[in-house]
Amino acid sequence: MAIPAKEQQILTAARALFLRRGFEGATTDALVESAGVSKETLYRRYATKDDLLIAVIKDMAERRHAIAADVVLPDGATRRTLELLLKRLVRTALAETMKPENVDLLRLVAAESGRRPRVAALFRDALTGGGALRRLLAQAKDQRLVRHDVNVDTVAQMLGGSLLIPVLYQGVLGGARSPRRADIDLDEIVRLVLRAVSR
C-alpha cells in the first residue's frame, strides 16, 4: 500500500535525522524543520517520537518485504523450484539488509531496543523477513513439497535466523559499508533445511 506523499516526506526526513543525530539528538524542532511540516502536522500523524521511530522501522520493513512480494511457488512446482526460490529469498533479504542505510538504521534500532520493547520486536521481524519465507513454505506445504507435520513458522525462523550472522557480524557490529559475501553458506543452509522438511 502506497504511503501518502506528506507522510513519506516525514518518514524520509526522520530516518535521515535519526541516523545523523541518533534518537535523542533528533529533536521535534529539528524533525519539523527537516521534514518541512508544522508541529501540528507531525503530531497529528505521530503523537510521540517513539511512534515516529516505529513508523520509520515499519517503512523499512515494508520496503524490504515488498521486494519479495512477487516470489510465488507455481502450481506443480518441484523441490528444485522450491529450493531456488528459497535461495533467492534469503540472498535478496541479505543484500537488502546489508545496504548501508539499512545497516545504519539497524544499529540505531539495536541501541534503542532495550528501552523500547516495541522497537525490538519490529527490529527482529524486519531483520529476518519471515513473512515471505512463511508464505513460500506454506505454499510448498499445500503442494506437498514439505511434510504435513512441519511447522512452517519454525522453518521460516530457522532460515531467517541464518541471516543474522552476516548482518550482525559484518554489518551492525562489523561496520560494513557495502554488501559482501557472507561468512556462512546460505545456499547450503537452504539445502540442509529443505532436506530436513521435504517429503
Tell me the mean pLDDT per 10 residues along the chain, length 199: 80 92 90 92 91 86 76 93 93 83 82 79 63 90 96 89 78 60 77 92
Whole-Å CA distances, 60 to 64, 67, 82, 172, 189: 6, 11, 27, 16, 26
Coil, strand or helix at 74: coil
Q: How far apart are CA 31 and CA 187, in angstroms?
A: 42
Look at residue 179 in the predicted model and tell me its pLDDT. 46
Give the CB-side neighbour count of residue 83, counting CA atoms within 13 A: 16
Look at residue 65 in the predicted model and tell me its pLDDT.
73
Cβ-in-10-Å burial (0-12, 13-18, 19+) of 78 comes to: exposed
Hey, what amino acid is at 102?
A: N
Q: What SS3 state is found at 146?
A: strand
Distance CA 120, CA 122 (A): 5
pTM of the model: 0.76
- Quote the cell numbers at residue 189: 543452509
Buried b (16+ CB within 10 A) or exposed e, 18-36: bbeeebeebeeeebbebbe
Query: What angle, rounded to 10 degrees, do the helices at 49-67 and 79-97 form?
Result: 140
103 φψ region: left (φ > 0), alpha (ψ -120 to 50), beta (else) = alpha
